[in-house]
Structure 1
C-alpha cells in the first residue's frame, strides 16, 4: 500500500493541474446530478414491522374511515378574545381552499366540530326531556289501566253475584239474555284493556331502549369532553387536516404547500401556527454557525502551519471533497427516502476528516522539507507514509460507519453509508488532490523563517521516558474526570424530539405550547388504541362494551381522556383516542404506553376479556428505541472486534489496542453523560440555546459510537504509530512512548481542535437533532483526543513498560505486517537518495 501511495503521490505532484481539474470536474458532475435528480428530504422516521405500524394498518383495514393520517394547526386570535363571526367566516373559506388541494381528503373545521358537540349535547337534553315526558305518560297510562281494571273487576263481581242470586231464585233462565249481554260488555272491556296494557308494555320497552341509547349517548359525550377543538375562552382552535395516507407518506412539497397556505393566510386579528408535521423545513446544510467553525479551523491551521497558503490547502481539500460527497449522496434523494440529518452528518464528517487527513500528509511533507528533501520527492514520500496512515485511519472510520448496516434499521444504514462515502472521498482527496496542491505551492508551504532554515533541522534527541509518579497522577486524574462526566449517563432516556424542543420563535414550538396551555399537554400526544372485542356481540352490546373499555382506560392514572372513535363492520374491533396527561416525550406517557401494552391493564374488570394494542407518536418512539437498542450490542461487537483486529495488526500489540478501546469507552460515556446533563436535565441550556429538555435522540448513541470510535482510533493511530516506530528502531519502551507522543501531539492537537470546531458549529443550528449530534461529537472528540489519547493512554503505556508491546510469538507469525508508517518505503527512498533504485 505504501509503495502504491508513493507512486500515486508522485503522479499527482507531476500532473497537479490535471488532478485538480479532474476533482473539480467530478464536483461539477456531482452538483449537476443533485440538481437534476435530487428529491425532497424528510424529517420523519419510519420503520417496518413495528407494533405501531401493525396497529395503524389494522385500523386502516378494519375501521371505517380509519385509514389515512392527519396533521394539526393552531388558530388563535391576536387579542385573546373569542373569534368573531367575520373571522370564522374567513377561516371557513380558508378551510375550503385547503380541502380543495388534491392531497387533502378533508378538513375538520374546529368550530363546526364544537357546534356539533354542543348540538349533540342539546339533542341529548331534549331526548332526556322527551324520555321524562314518556315516563310520565307511561305512569299516567298505567294508572288509568289499573283504574279501569278495578272497575271491570268490580263489574264482574257484581254480575257473578247477580247470576248466583238469580240461580238461587230460579229466575236465571228468564234473565240469561241480559246476563250474557252484560258479560259480553265486560269481556269486550277486558279485551280493550289488555290491548291497552300490551301497547303500554311496548311503549315501556321502547322507552327503556331509548333510555339505554340515551345513556350511551350521554356516556359518549362525557368521554368526548376531553377532546375539545375550541378552547373554553373561545380564542384558540385546533384545525385538523386529513390525508389519504399517513403524514410520513405525503410528499413534503405538498405538505409545505398546505403549511404555507395556513401560515400566510391574511385574516385580520388571527394567527395560524402549523404543527411540526406540517411546518417541516429542511435544515440548511451550511449556516453561519458552520462558517464560524470553519473560521476557527482556519485559525488553528494558520497558528500551526504559519502560512495562509498552508492553512488554505486542507480547507480547499475538505470543501471540494465534502461537495463531491454530499452532492453525490443528495443526488440519490429522489429515489431513496432520506432524512434531513443524513447529508448534514456527511457534511460534518466530510469537513472534519477532510481537513484532518490533508493536515496529516501536509505535516509530514513540511517536516521533510525542513530536513532538506526535494519538493516532489517529499510529496511522494509523505503520501506513501502519512498517506498510508490516513488510509488506515479512513478504513477504521468507514468500518465503524458501514457497520450501521448490520443494525437492520434502514435510516441508520443510509446515514452510515452516506457518511462513509464522504469519508471515502475525503481519504481519496487526501492522497491525490493534497499532493497536487502541495506541488503547485512548492516551498511556499513553509514560512519565510522556515524556508531559511531548510536543511538545518536537528533530530529528536530524546533519551529518557516520562516521570512515573507524574504519569500515575495523570492517569488517575483522567479516569476521575471521565467518570465524573459519565455519571449522568445512568439517567439516559431515549426518544424522538417533539416540538417542545424546537426553536422558540418557530411555528411548531408555539403551536405545541399553545395546545398545551389551552387543551393540556396530552393533546400533543394522542395515542391510538385498538380493542379486540368478544365475538358474537350485537350492535348495542358492542357499543356498551366499547364504552366500558373507554371508561376503564379513563380510570388509568396518566389518562386525561379516552374517546371511542369507531368500530369495525362486524363489531369485533373498536378504536379509541387516548389523551395522556403529559406530553409525548414525558416519562409518564412512556410508562402509560408500556402499561397499555403489558396486557393486564384490563385484568379484573368487567371487560377483562378485551385485548388492546397501541399506536401513536409516543408508541412509535418506544418501538424505534427498542429496535435500535436491540441492534446496539451486535453493532458494538462488530465495530470493536474489527477495529481491535486492525489495531493489533498495526501496532503488533495486545494491550495497546485494549487500552485504546477502554479509553474510548470512557470518553464516549463522558460525552453522553454531558449530553444528558445539557439536553435532558437542562444544565447550561441557555448557553447552548436549548429551548426545552426531553429524552435524548434515539439514534444519537449508536451514531456517536460509530463516529467517535472511528475518530478515536484515528488519533490513536497517529500517536501510537510514532511510538511503535521508535520502539521498532530500538528505543526503550518508555522512551518510545515519549518520542511518539511528542512527535504526534502537535498534529493530533490541531486535528482535534479543527474537528471539534467543525462539529461545534452545528450545535447552534435550529434543528434539535443536528444540535445534539454536533454537541456529542464535538465534546467526544475533545475528551477522546486530549484526555484519552494525549494523557490517559500514554500514561498507561508508560506504566505498562515492555508489556505494552507484548505480542505472543505465534500471533506475531500469523498476522501480516502492514507497516502503516511506511518505514520500509522510507528506507528504500533513503537508499535511492544514496544512488540505489527502488
Structure 2
C-alpha cells in the first residue's frame, strides 16, 4: 500500500488530470447515449411470468402497459356536456404512438366503467409496448389532453405506471440538502474551508464518474428509475466518510512533523488500508445480490456498487494527490471556534473518559445497549412484504387522486385487478376459464369479474378479477393464494386448461417468494465472506463473530424502525408519509446488503485501531481505551455526515427513497452511537485477551492481510 501511495503522491498532477479527463470523457459518453431505465419484474419460472408471456405472445396488443383516465362529474358522467368533452379527449389520445386502444365508458358494453351513482367513470388506455419503451414527453402530452376539460364540476385524474414516471420530477433537492448538511458537519469537524472542501470535491468527482457509468450501464442491466438516486445517496455518504478518515490521518501526520508527501503516504498506508477493506466489503455485499438470480436487482446492485467503488478509488488516489498539493494549506481559511485539532488520549480527553466509564461497567453497558437493540428489533417480527400502490403516494399527485376516485366509485380493488390468463387445450375450448370465472363470481372477496376475451386463434383467453380490498391489503394476498392453491388446480386437472394469475399483486407476491427462497443463500455467502475477511485481517475468532452479530442487530433494529413508521404509522407524517402499507418486496434484500456493508466500515475503522494498539502493547483493556479515544471523534463525525445525507433523502417524494433514507440513516445512527461507542467496547472489555485468540492450526492456514502498515517505513524524499 505504501508503494502505491508513493506513486500516487509522486505523480499527483497526473492523477488529478486523469480524474478530470475521466469525468469529462465518461460524462460526455453518458450524455450522448442517455439512460434506458426499466422496472420490469421478469421472474424465472413464476406463475405471473407465465401469464405475462402468454399475453405477450398471444395478446400482443394487451401485453403492454395500461393507464387509466378517471373522471368525476357533479352533473353526472353521462350528461351531454361531459360526454362530449371526454369523447373528444379520448379520440385525441387514441392517435398517439403505441396507443392500441382507448376503452371508453361511452362505447357499447362500457356501462361497467361507470359507478352506480353515475358520477365517476374511467377509460383505459392500452399501450402496445412496455413502460420503458414509452416516450415520457408523449405521455405528458396524453396527460395534458386528458386533463384539458377539467373544471366546472369536472375532475379528471390519471393513473398507471406511465403516468407515474412521466410525472416524476427530474430534479431532486434531497441531494443538495444532503450536500449542504455535509458541508456544515465538515466545517464543525475541521474548522477550515479547505479541509471541508477536499472530501466534497473527492466525493463529487467520484460520483460524477460513477453515476455516468451507471447511466451507460442501464443499456446493459435492467435498471430501476430509483437506482441513480440510491447510488447518489450511498456514494455521497460513503465517499465523504472515506475521505474524512484519510484526511484526518493526514492532518495528524502533519501535526507529528511529517512533510506533506510523507503525511499523505502515511494517511493512505494507515486509514487507506481500512478504506480499501471497508469498500471491498460493501461491494461484496452489494454484488452478492447477483446470487439471487433476479435480474430486476442487478441494475440497482451494480449502480450502488459502482458508486462505492469509485468513491473508494477517489479516496485512495485523487484525495492523496490533492492533499500533497495542498500540504499545510489544508488548514487555511479557518473559522474561529470550530474544528478542534486535539487527538489526545490522555485522561482529560472526552472519548478517553467515555471509554473508561464503559469499561468499568461492561456487563451493565452491554446489557442496556443490547437490550435497546433487541427492543428496536421487535417490530421486525411484524414485517409484511407486498406492493405499494398509488394509495401510498402524496395526496397532490394525479396518480394518487385517480386511485382515490376509483376506490370511491368502484371499491379499492379496482386499483389492482388480477389478470387471469389461460392456454386453452384446443381452439375455442374455454370451459376452464368459464368455470374459474363462475367460481370467482361467488367468492366473497371478489367485487367484479370481467367477461372472457379470446385471441384471434382462440387458443388463449383472459379476463380480470377485481377484489373488494386494496392491492396492499392482507385480504387481497389471501384471495390470490386461495385462487392459486384451491380454485385453479381442480379446474386445470378437469379441463386441461393451463391457468395463470398475473397483475401487479401477483408479480410482487411471486417476487417476494423468490427472494425468500434465495435469501438464506445470499445472507450466508455475505456473512461468511465478511467474517472470513475479518478473521484474516484481525487474526481472531471472536472479533469476526462479534462483528457479524453486531451488524445483524443493527439491521434488525433498522427494520424495526421501518416497520414502526411505514406499517404502523408511528411518526410517519413527519417524513411526509400519510398512508401506511406493506414494505415493498425487494426492499429488505437491498437494505440488508447496504447496511451490512456500511456496518463493516465502522467495524473496520474502530477495530483496526484497537488491533493496532493491541499489537503494540498486548494489553487488552488499554488497547480498547486508546482505540476508541483515537477514533471516536472521527467515527462520530463520519456517522453524522452519513446520517444527515441519508436522512435528507426522506424529504423526496418517492416512497422507496424515503424507505432507503430512513432505513440507512437509522442503521448508521444505531451502529455508530449504540454499537461502536457502547456495545463493542463493553464486549471487548469482557473478552479481554481472548478477543485476539486464534488456534495455531488455523493461523497457519489463513493468509496474512494486514490493515495496519509495517513498522517504521522508510522516509520518502519530497518530489515536486
TM-score normalized by structure 1? 0.79
Asked whether the equivalents of residues 47 and 624 of structure 1 are also in contact (C-alpha less than 8 Å), the reply is yes
Change (3 A) 1:272 1:334: farther
> Which of 413, 432, 436 is the matching residue for 2:321?
436
- What SS does the corresponding residue of 2:688 show, helix, strand or coil? helix
Structure 1 stretch displaced more, 410-419 or 511-520: 410-419
Q: Aligned-pair distance for 1:50?
A: 2.5
Change (3 A) 1:385 1:110: same
The aligned residue for residue 22 of structure 1 is 18
**Residue 763 (1) aligns with residue 647 (2):** no
Which aligned pairs between 1:688-727 and structure 2 lie closer than 5 A?
Answer: 688-727=575-614
Deviation readout 1:756-809 (Å, 9 max, x if unpaired): 111111112111111101111111111112211221122111101111110111
The aligned residue for residue 284 of structure 2 is 399
> Which of 255, 262, 273 is the matching residue for 2:157?
273
- Distance in structure 2 (CA, Å) of the matches to 1:766 and 1:498: 14
Change (3 A) 1:545 1:742: closer
**Residue 351 (1) aligns with residue 236 (2):** yes
Change (3 A) 1:111 1:647: same
**Residue 318 (1) aligns with residue 203 (2):** yes
- Distance in structure 2 (CA, Å) of the matches to 1:382 and 1:533: 69
> Which of 170, 182, 193 is the matching residue for 1:297?
182
- Distance in structure 2 (CA, Å) of the matches to 1:482 and 1:312: 36
Change (3 A) 1:547 1:367: same
- Distance in structure 2 (CA, Å) of the matches to 1:290 and 1:579: 40
Change (3 A) 1:263 1:255: same
**Residue 41 (1) aligns with residue 37 (2):** yes
Change (3 A) 1:329 1:534: closer
Asked whether the equivalents of residues 369 and 454 of structure 1 are also in contact (C-alpha less than 8 Å), the reply is no
The aligned residue for residue 56 of structure 1 is 52
Change (3 A) 1:456 1:449: farther
The aligned residue for residue 475 of structure 1 is 366
- Distance in structure 1 (CA, Å) of the matches to 2:85 and 2:697: 84
Q: Aligned-pair distance for 1:529?
A: 1.8
> Which of 123, 127, 130 is the matching residue for 1:239?
123
Q: Aligned-pair distance for 1:31?
A: 2.1
Change (3 A) 1:600 1:262: closer
Asked whether the equivalents of residues 465 and 735 of structure 1 are also in contact (C-alpha less than 8 Å), the reply is no
- What SS does the corresponding residue of 2:650 show, helix, strand or coil? coil
The aligned residue for residue 580 of structure 1 is 467
Asked whether the equivalents of residues 494 and 697 of structure 1 are also in contact (C-alpha less than 8 Å), the reply is yes
Change (3 A) 1:324 1:552: same
**Residue 667 (1) aligns with residue 554 (2):** yes
- What SS does the corresponding residue of 2:651 show, helix, strand or coil? coil
Change (3 A) 1:8 1:761: farther
Runs (5+) with no aligned partner, structure 1: 119-227
**Residue 7 (1) aligns with residue 6 (2):** yes
Asked whether the equivalents of residues 77 and 118 of structure 2 are also in contact (C-alpha less than 8 Å), the reply is yes
- Distance in structure 1 (CA, Å) of the matches to 2:8 and 2:31: 33
Q: Aligned-pair distance for 1:574?
A: 4.6
> Which of 450, 464, 484 is the matching residue for 1:597?
484
Structure 1 stretch displaced more, 572-581 or 483-492: 572-581
- Distance in structure 2 (CA, Å) of the matches to 1:37 and 1:63: 32
Asked whether the equivalents of residues 370 and 455 of structure 1 are also in contact (C-alpha less than 8 Å), the reply is no
Change (3 A) 1:570 1:432: closer
Q: Aligned-pair distance for 1:69?
A: 4.5
The aligned residue for residue 101 of structure 1 is 96
- Distance in structure 2 (CA, Å) of the matches to 1:286 and 1:544: 52
Q: Aligned-pair distance for 1:411?
A: 2.3
Deviation readout 1:281-329 (Å, 9 max, x if unpaired): 3755763333222222222211111212211111111112111111221
- Distance in structure 2 (CA, Å) of the matches to 1:38 and 1:106: 30
> Which of 502, 510, 518 is the matching residue for 2:409?
518
Change (3 A) 1:64 1:794: closer
Deviation readout 1:389-425 (Å, 9 max, x if unpaired): 2111111111111111111111212211121111111
Asked whether the equivalents of residues 436 and 491 of structure 2 are also in contact (C-alpha less than 8 Å), the reply is no
The aligned residue for residue 696 of structure 2 is 809
**Residue 84 (1) aligns with residue 83 (2):** no
Deviation readout 1:690-732 (Å, 9 max, x if unpaired): 1211111212111111111111111011001111111111241
- Distance in structure 1 (CA, Å) of the matches to 2:503 and 2:113: 19
- Distance in structure 1 (CA, Å) of the matches to 2:217 and 2:490: 51
Deviation readout 1:232-254 (Å, 9 max, x if unpaired): 33332211111224446545554
- What SS does the corresponding residue of 1:686 show, helix, strand or coil? helix
Asked whether the equivalents of residues 679 and 696 of structure 1 are also in contact (C-alpha less than 8 Å), the reply is yes
Change (3 A) 1:523 1:607: farther
Asked whether the equivalents of residues 314 and 359 of structure 1 are also in contact (C-alpha less than 8 Å), the reply is yes
Asked whether the equivalents of residues 256 and 278 of structure 1 are also in contact (C-alpha less than 8 Å), the reply is no
Change (3 A) 1:347 1:605: closer
- What SS does the corresponding residue of 1:242 show, helix, strand or coil? strand
Runs (5+) with no aligned partner, structure 2: none
Change (3 A) 1:360 1:60: closer
Structure 1 stretch displaced more, 427-436 or 272-281: 272-281
Change (3 A) 1:81 1:27: same
Change (3 A) 1:544 1:828: closer
The aligned residue for residue 783 of structure 1 is 670
- Distance in structure 1 (CA, Å) of the matches to 2:171 and 2:644: 14
Asked whether the equivalents of residues 546 and 564 of structure 1 are also in contact (C-alpha less than 8 Å), the reply is no
> Which of 296, 314, 318 is the matching residue for 1:411?
296
Change (3 A) 1:276 1:692: farther
The aligned residue for residue 422 of structure 1 is 307
- Distance in structure 2 (CA, Å) of the matches to 1:604 and 1:698: 30
Aligned length: 709
- Distance in structure 2 (CA, Å) of the matches to 1:775 and 1:645: 30
Asked whether the equivalents of residues 448 and 466 of structure 2 are also in contact (C-alpha less than 8 Å), the reply is yes
> Which of 19, 23, 27 is the matching residue for 1:31?
27
- What SS does the corresponding residue of 1:112 show, helix, strand or coil? coil
Asked whether the equivalents of residues 596 and 613 of structure 1 are also in contact (C-alpha less than 8 Å), the reply is no
- What SS does the corresponding residue of 2:161 show, helix, strand or coil? coil
Which aligned pairs between 1:618-767 and structure 2 lie closer than 5 A?
Answer: 618-767=505-654
- Distance in structure 2 (CA, Å) of the matches to 1:73 and 1:94: 10
Q: Aligned-pair distance for 1:647?
A: 0.5
The aligned residue for residue 114 of structure 2 is 230
- Distance in structure 2 (CA, Å) of the matches to 1:367 and 1:426: 22
Asked whether the equivalents of residues 369 and 378 of structure 1 are also in contact (C-alpha less than 8 Å), the reply is yes
Asked whether the equivalents of residues 398 and 420 of structure 1 are also in contact (C-alpha less than 8 Å), the reply is yes
Structure 1 stretch displaced more, 671-680 or 573-582: 573-582
- What SS does the corresponding residue of 2:118 show, helix, strand or coil? coil
Q: Aligned-pair distance for 1:269?
A: 4.8
> Which of 65, 68, 77 is the matching residue for 1:72?
68
Change (3 A) 1:249 1:734: same
- Distance in structure 2 (CA, Å) of the matches to 1:758 and 1:481: 25
Asked whether the equivalents of residues 719 and 740 of structure 1 are also in contact (C-alpha less than 8 Å), the reply is yes
The aligned residue for residue 828 of structure 1 is 713
The aligned residue for residue 614 of structure 1 is 501
Asked whether the equivalents of residues 400 and 710 of structure 1 are also in contact (C-alpha less than 8 Å), the reply is yes
